[in-house]
Amino acid sequence: MDLSTLPGLGPKRLKALNASGLRSVSDLLYNIPRTWLDRTRLNKLSESHVGENVILIGKITRAGFIPGRTSRYMAVLDDGTGQVSLVFFRGARHWAKTISVGTRWCVIGKLGNYRGLQLVHPEMQRMGDDEDFSGGIEPVYTITEEEHSAKIEQKFFRTLYPKVFAMPNLSVPDAPPAELTEFMGLKPVLQNLKSLHMPKTFAEAMQAKLQLKKLELLPFCLRMNVRRRSLAFRGQARTLNDSAIADAKASLPFTLTAGQSKAVDQICEGLRGKKQFHALLQGDVGSGKTVVAMLAMLAVAKGGEQCALMAPTDILARQHYKSLKPFFDKAGIRTALLLGACSATEKKTISGELQMGMTQVVIGTHALFSKDVLFQNLTFVVIDEQHRFGVNQREALLKKGHFPDLLVMSATPIPRSLAMTLYGDLTPIVLNEKPAGRKPVKTRLVDPTKRDDMKKFLLKEVKTGNRLYWVVSRVEIDDEGGAKSVDEVAEELSSFTSEWKVGAIHGQMDEEERDRILNEFASGKIQVLVATTVIEVGVNVPEANLMVIDAPERFGLAQLHQLRGRVGRGNQDAWCFLIVPQTSPAHERLSRFASTDNGFEIAEMDMQDRGAGNLEGSEQSGAWVFRWFDWIQDKELIQRILDTAEEILDNKPGFSPEVQEKIQKWYALMPQGNADGVH
Ligand code: ADP
Ligand code: MG
């Protein structure tokens, strides 16, 4: 239903509403109040504090028009316990006519302090001399610029909603089946929405919000449970080649940490089981996840089965191929590298060999999803930096095998509440220690005026054999005069001194060229690498222990942590410099980041700052931003709704097959979160 069906809406207001994203009646229903004013409690000035929302009733004791650069109208209200100034910048003339000394008002607003208590543009309600305070609860809406210029204010919405809810045949799209809400002890969605727009008490509005949160979370929990339940019984246990693991361990240039050994054991145990095994290996950047995955793959491949290792970028896939191939070779296992950049003939050959079982391990990127890639006996899929992939992509790869096992690896430490819902279908395995000898990266905030001093320090370090990543947020030149581009910085650093060689890479570059430069950096032929976030995931050059991040405020903290993880991969001292002016609003947030090396803490901070949707390191994954549910405030709801989902899938309520089908259709329709991937 579009809005023109509503009575009393002129074309100007209609246009303003449309421009603000309110096009249909259902848009209006979901135009949720920003907050609610509880007018049921009257405040006393003597007991109120600056920053509080207050409702006061009192008489005007002084009032006057104050001419100046911006003319203001000011009045003083006395509520019998104290005095507060009321200040009006907008519509001063109008207020000058209505607010006169001796009149009685109910005023609502946030108590400020400027030469005494004051309320700027409070809501004003005229009261008769003997009129009693008749409280109520009122929703407060966000008013957009467009709405404001079409004279749409709070009052407009407050009178609009009774009309909306009086419409015959009003319904909400995608409402859950009534049987379901009833089972959960919830009111119908429409009724809850009404309680948000026209509540009688504050508690009613809060209750409605809670109910809507539960309903919003349910489809996610249902899908998670369905996925977990779909893990199949293989029927027979798998025998792993333990001696392949022992041999490979012996030829590693280091000994595994206790955490790594335990992770390998846990994974192998899962792989041996009769049931399909899906696990999440979580470990901070640099904790050494790759070798864990490699050992498990070795054990599977040595038994004649096939494994696929999937990485989000070409750089990373090539790096894995290069570092793992020698171990596979030694064990007599054939390995292939499959990238989007491979020629059609190459792809055909690789795919043919996989299909015939001549190759046991394939390492690749998204190219592995391709329909043409077929396997003879794919039984183990490993996905690195899994947050870069969607659930659907993951599933596409799994389909190529016969109920294969799955290991997804993530360096994004996820708070437990979140992990339970996002990855509730995966067995958690945590690597919580880094290889011995690693020191925390020394992270410092550098004022832009110290840029040259910093460069001098960096040069001194580079001369002793160190290498430097310089991260910028942009590829092109920024017209807005903000952050510098890759080329600008590369130019700046080259002209700073000829004592270091500078290379630059970014995502829009030819891949061969990019790999060539990265290799030159890895081998030390160039010592300074100016780069965009293409280096964020996985890139491993242990000799590079210096990093500068230009315009760090443009990144989320979790992403900065990933970037910082590129250094400190050896046993040397490692530095990370964040260039940010002392005056930047991001300064405080970045200092908190600089003060900790703990990925979980940083993930928590990031979640507080930017919401869970951004946590996974990608702006595009905002699909996880819920309308009602809040990952931080409402985390205790998760377990309850997971339990509800279990009950529904077990059909504890005894729904008829028709109702079950309706429910299934409903949750399949609801937003998919990051299921479609973030690319
Ligand atoms: P991530 O967990 O971030 O993927 P990697 O697997 O890339 O980390 O490992 C980071 C670096 O640590 C690599 O150079 C790797 O060879 C090295 N490494 C892994 N395990 C150990 C260990 N037990 N002792 C020393 N170095 C290790
Ligand atoms: Mg890694």
Tokens of 578: 């964040």
Q: Is 283 in the pocket of ligand 1 (CB under 6 A)?
A: yes
Please write the tens of the pLDDT for every residue from 451-476: 999 999 999 999 999 999 999 987 66
> SS3 for 167?
coil
Q: Is 312 in the pocket of ligand 1 (CB under 6 A)?
A: no
Q: What is the pLDDT of residue 671?
A: 66
Q: How far apart are CA 660 and CA 655, in angstroms?
A: 6
Residues 6+ apart with CB under 8 A from 168: none
Nearest CA to ligand 1 atom 20: 288
Q: How far apart are CA 84 and CA 475, in angstroms?
A: 53
pTM for the full predicted model? 0.68
N-terminal to C-terminal alpha carbon distance within the chain: 34
Q: What is the pLDDT of residue 476?
A: 61
Q: What is the pLDDT of residue 135?
A: 65
Distance between Cα 539 and ligand 2 center (Å): 8
Q: Is 286 in the pocket of ligand 1 (CB under 6 A)?
A: yes
Q: How far apart are CA 94 and CA 96, in angstroms?
A: 5
- Apex 102 CA angle, 98 and 103, nearest 5: 45
Stated as kind and residue range, the H or E segment containing 177 is none
| Residue the block writes with tokens 């903000």 | 482
Q: How far apart are CA 113 and CA 50, in angstroms?
A: 6
E strands present in 111-182:
112-113, 117-120, 123-127, 137-140
- Tell me the percentage of the chain whose pLDDT exceeds 70: 91
DSSP 4: G
CB distance 222 to 649 below 8 Å: yes
Q: Is 562 in the pocket of ligand 1 (CB under 6 A)?
A: no
CB distance 571 to 438 below 8 Å: yes
Distance between Cα 264 and ligand 1 center (Å): 14
Q: What is the pLDDT of residue 321?
A: 95
Pocket test for ligand 1, best of 249, 388, 540 (most atoms within 8 A of CB): 540
pLDDT tier at 572, thresholds 50, 70, 90: confident
| CB neighbour burial string for 368-397, b if at least 16 within 10 angstroms, e if fewer | bbeeebebbebbbbbbbbbbbbbbebbebb
pLDDT tier at 90, thresholds 50, 70, 90: confident
Better pLDDT: 344 or 396: 344
The Cα-based distances of 338 to 308, 317, 344, 364, 404 in angstroms read 10, 9, 11, 5, 20
Q: Is 256 in the pocket of ligand 1 (CB under 6 A)?
A: yes
Stated as kind and residue range, the H or E segment containing 522 is helix 511-523
Mean pLDDT over each residue of the chain, to the nearest integer: 86
Of the listed ranges 58-72, 158-172, 555-569, the least confidently predicted one is 58-72
Residue-range domains of the chain with CATH:
41-133 (2.40.50.140), 171-228+617-679 (no CATH), 242-431 (3.40.50.300), 442-596 (3.40.50.300)
C-alpha 199, offset from chain centre: 32
Nearest 5°: phi and psi at 431? -100, 105
Q: What is the pLDDT of residue 615?
A: 44
Q: How far apart are CA 4 and CA 11, in angstroms?
A: 9
The neighbouring-strand residues paired with 428 are 280
